[in-house]
Amino acid sequence: MKTKPSLCLMLALLMFPQIVETIYSPALGAISQTFAVSYPQAAQTLSVYFLAFALGVAVWGIMADTCGRRPAMLLGLFIYGVAAWVAMSTTSFAVLMAAR
């Protein structure tokens, strides 16, 4: 039996990128100091994040059509979680950029 996902879950997943950006933006000053890079370089991590998000829409859309929405969403959240963990634990700005 197939059930529809809840409206609250769909809204939370839809708002996820904006919530992450809102939480992340105030940390840019600390990121630039911690990694000894300029503020514009630290701000590039946001650009990389949104570029990856934009490209991901197409990739995950195709994957959802072929594999199903649930497996695509779970895989996407798993990859995001691993990348966030890598970004939090790295000491290299290049790795931070790649993880974002």
Query: pLDDT, tens digit, for every residue of 45-66?
Result: 989 988 888 888 888 889 989 9
Model confidence at 1: pLDDT above 60: no
- What ranges do the domains of the chain cover? 27-99
The neighbour count for residue 49, using CB atoms within 10 Å, is 19
pTM recorded for the entire structure: 0.78
- Identify the pLDDT of residue 44: 93
The one-letter amino acid at 72: A
- Identify the pLDDT of residue 7: 82
- Cβ neighbors of 21 (< 8 A, separation 6 or more) are 46, 49, 50
Query: pLDDT, tens digit, for every residue of 4-47?
Result: 777 887 788 778 878 888 888 899 999 999 999 999 999 999 89
Model confidence at 98: pLDDT above 60: yes
Q: At what angle do helices 39-67 and 69-89 cross, to 10 degrees?
A: 160
Nearest Cα to 43, choosing from 29, 56, 22, 54? 29
